Chain A
């Protein structure tokens, strides 16, 4: 893993969705602060995991990083290109280098298009090959690469299973020869035995093409398996960022600790012997994040200061960053 070569730089990224009120004259009365200040880098060939529960903003973050949602504040640079630069050439270049794999295999492929049309679309848009014949050949190569028969080019998405559709989606993402792929919960909708197939495929592709992944997920066991570094999100911000083993073996933030202790282990003796940290209450809404540290209402070790001051983002150990007053 190349520490020096970062291809994605994110600085102070915020994405707020305004809440409007009024029938005739709408005015903004508040905002859903889905992403509220992210700063991190992704290196070449690395898989960075972004984990958190529903409402933490990880999916919004993934989409905003690719410029699919206009950002509210901050900057994102992908291989030197700034997504704030709206120049069409710039945007097209970013669209080529950065791709996305989606969560829902049933909704992420156009049901009226053939596999060939779906996978060759990026090639068409970026004018990569001169004619449809060449593009079709390339589509067949990509299908073989993801473990599907090239004879299936003229079939439609509804004829495939969830796992197969995910692989078509992966083939589509690979078509423009990208450097960076945002994987937005790519396996949560799949059966266990198929999840392993797809994850193995993603890893093989990464080795082959030196791809970088932002792996957004809520399945912490899978994240431990595939990621090099992991960032834990809560209510729009990252509360802890560390290398995989550091995070899983010595989580420092109380939320990370609770999260990890809540994940079931498929080993009855181990699972029943654990000390689970059960959090009280529900995940609060990003419309009105708590004052001070966002986690303080549910935090088992919160002190007075936690409800007043927002904690600093500090490097506690080598490459292990936490945002907490008590660490």
Chain B
């Protein structure tokens, strides 16, 4: 499979009156054609900022992309001028956001918001665009699509709005869809509907999906590969089965250990991770997870571990082998 998006050593900071916020500290990964990659992490880990940086959606100032490249089909997105980026955004790389209420324009009808990218990017005439919009709405499971074109976002429920967002994102048949916590705000039964929809669309349209979330349950059902982020860095990257069955980074293990299960009753205490999330005002010069890690060694507090391959399709950035408790 071809790699369609290759990110290299991305670093993004924010200049605030309190200091520099080191949001993304050297992130490299790729996504292949038709693949579903999940980016997992807790709040503040930099997963959203990474995506926004790639798409040129970081406000500059106070944001600043210090280094790195983001190659999409031989073009570095970080170097492209705004007009070219606009052509790619929405057309070839689509974004689905968390809160459909704020990402849909409340004063424009759904029809208008759906047809706009079609007429703008694909040069459709109004008639064709409307037809396509109706097709998309039906495709995402909205009944009476033709009539709903004249409706406004507030007339839809949360789940329906998310479907509309998906229809908008996929209207131009992009090669990559980036979804940032698209189901976090939804009820679990609605979330199941949306995930089922995404799986179906993925099969029919063959697009790549970058799914950003903190929910390790959703990732297990949806992803092919997973990246675990912490403090603006990638700590572990693996094929989804490997990640869950054989997690090798202490953070991943700790996260999985902190999860309650719906399919069986866990032992008395959840493994909680001591301490607090890292302070992003300090640029990480050594392993950011060291203060909270149960396997920590001296070197962890002194040097930054690099991402290294430990098996086929399994990389971690860690000095310790958690199976033996010794240095790798």
**Which A residues are closer than 8 A to B by beta carbons?**
53-54, 161, 163-164, 191-197, 199-200, 203, 218-222, 224-226, 244-245, 248, 258-272, 276, 278-279, 282-283
Q: Is the CB of B42 within 8 A of A266?
A: no
What are the 5 tightest A-B residue pairs by CB atom distance, in nearest-first order?
A: A264-B217, A225-B260, A196-B272, A262-B192, A53-B187
State whether the Cβ of B1 lies closer than 8 Å to any Cβ in chain A: no
Q: Pick the contact of A191: B157, B262, B270, B277 (CB < 8 A).
A: B277
Contacts of B188 in A (CB 8 A): 53, 218, 220, 259, 262-263
Per the bound structure, the CA–CA distance linking A267 and B17 in Å amounts to 43
Q: Pick the contact of B159: A222, A266, A271, A282 (CB < 8 A).
A: A282
Contacts of B269 in A (CB 8 A): 200, 203
From A197, A225, A261, name the one whose CB has the most chain B CB atoms within 10 angstroms: A225
**Which B residues are closer than 8 A to A by beta carbons?**
42-43, 157, 159-160, 187-193, 195-196, 214-221, 223, 240-241, 244, 254-256, 258-263, 265-266, 268-274, 276-277
Q: Is the CB of A270 within 8 A of B263?
A: yes
Per the bound structure, the CA–CA distance linking A224 and B217 in Å amounts to 15
Q: Is the CB of A264 within 8 A of B196?
A: no
Contacts of B266 in A (CB 8 A): 225
**Helix, strand, loop or mixed for chain A's interface?**
helix
Per the bound structure, the CA–CA distance linking A279 and B175 in Å amounts to 30
Q: What is the minimal beta-carbon distance from B247 to any residue of chain A, in angstroms?
A: 11
From B220, B254, B277, name the one whose CB has the most chain A CB atoms within 10 angstroms: B220
Contacts of A259 in B (CB 8 A): 188-189
Q: Is the CB of B189 within 8 A of A221?
A: no
Per the bound structure, the CA–CA distance linking A199 and B256 in Å amounts to 16
Per the bound structure, the CA–CA distance linking A324 and B189 in Å amounts to 20
Per the bound structure, the CA–CA distance linking A218 and B188 in Å amounts to 8
Contacts of B273 in A (CB 8 A): 193, 196-197
Q: Pick the contact of A196: B214, B258, B262 (CB < 8 A).
A: B258
Q: What is the minimal beta-carbon distance from B246 to any residue of chain A, in angstroms?
A: 12
Contacts of B191 in A (CB 8 A): 262, 264
Contacts of A203 in B (CB 8 A): 268-269
Contacts of B221 in A (CB 8 A): 264-265, 268, 271-272
Given A200-B269, A264-B221, check contact A278 B262 (CB 8 Å).
no
Q: Pick the contact of B261: A192, A218, A265 (CB < 8 A).
A: A265
Per the bound structure, the CA–CA distance linking A79 and B327 in Å amounts to 57
Q: How many A-B residue pairs have CB under 8 A?
A: 134
Contacts of A54 in B (CB 8 A): 187
Per the bound structure, the CA–CA distance linking A263 and B215 in Å amounts to 11
Q: Is the CB of B196 within 8 A of A193?
A: no
Report the nearest B residue to A258, measured CB to CB.
B189
Report the nearest A residue to B192, measured CB to CB.
A262
Q: What is the minimal beta-carbon distance from B90 to any residue of chain A, in angstroms?
A: 27
Contacts of A195 in B (CB 8 A): 258
Given A262-B188, A271-B220, check contact A220 B42 (CB 8 Å).
no
Given A163-B276, A199-B270, A224-B265, check contact A264 B187 (CB 8 Å).
no
Q: Is the CB of A282 within 8 A of B192?
A: no
Contacts of A261 in B (CB 8 A): 192
Q: Is the CB of B244 within 8 A of A282?
A: no
Q: Is the CB of B263 within 8 A of A192?
A: no
Q: Pick the contact of B263: A163, A244, A265, A278 (CB < 8 A).
A: A265
Per the bound structure, the CA–CA distance linking A196 and B42 in Å amounts to 13
From B43, B190, B196, B262, name the one whose CB has the most chain A CB atoms within 10 angstroms: B262
Q: Is the CB of B220 within 8 A of A267?
A: yes
Q: Is the CB of A282 within 8 A of B258?
A: no
Report the nearest A residue to B185, measured CB to CB.
A54
Q: Is the CB of A200 within 8 A of B272?
A: yes
Given A267-B220, A267-B244, check contact A279 B265 (CB 8 Å).
no
Report the nearest A residue to B157, measured CB to CB.
A282
Question: What are 12 A-B residue pairs whose CB atoms fall within 8 Å in the complex?
Answer: A54-B187, A192-B255, A192-B258, A195-B258, A196-B272, A222-B260, A260-B262, A263-B188, A268-B221, A271-B220, A279-B193, A283-B190
Q: What is the minimal beta-carbon distance from B60 to any residue of chain A, in angstroms?
A: 28
Contacts of A271 in B (CB 8 A): 217, 220-221
Per the bound structure, the CA–CA distance linking A267 and B255 in Å amounts to 13
Contacts of B223 in A (CB 8 A): 268
Q: Is the CB of A266 within 8 A of B261?
A: yes
Contacts of B219 in A (CB 8 A): 266
Q: Is the CB of A265 within 8 A of B187?
A: no
Contacts of B274 in A (CB 8 A): 197
Q: Pick the contact of B215: A225, A264, A272 (CB < 8 A).
A: A264
Contacts of A264 in B (CB 8 A): 191, 195, 215, 217-218, 220-221
Contacts of B261 in A (CB 8 A): 221, 224-225, 265-266
Per the bound structure, the CA–CA distance linking A200 and B258 in Å amounts to 10
Contacts of B258 in A (CB 8 A): 192-193, 195-196
Contacts of B43 in A (CB 8 A): 191
Contacts of A266 in B (CB 8 A): 216-217, 219-220, 244, 256, 259, 261
Q: Pick the contact of A268: B159, B241, B260 (CB < 8 A).
A: B241
Q: Is the CB of B270 within 8 A of A196?
A: yes
Contacts of A282 in B (CB 8 A): 157, 159-160, 190
Report the nearest B residue to A161, measured CB to CB.
B276
Per the bound structure, the CA–CA distance linking A230 and B254 in Å amounts to 28
Q: Is the CB of B159 within 8 A of A245?
A: no
Report the nearest B residue to A271, measured CB to CB.
B221
Report the nearest B residue to A162, measured CB to CB.
B43
Report the nearest B residue to A248, measured CB to CB.
B262
Per the bound structure, the CA–CA distance linking A54 and B157 in Å amounts to 12
Q: What is the minimal beta-carbon distance from A200 to any residue of chain B, in angstroms?
A: 5
Q: What is the minimal beta-carbon distance from A112 to any residue of chain B, in angstroms?
A: 22
Q: Is the CB of B262 within 8 A of A265?
A: yes
Q: What is the minimal beta-carbon distance from B166 to any residue of chain A, in angstroms?
A: 16
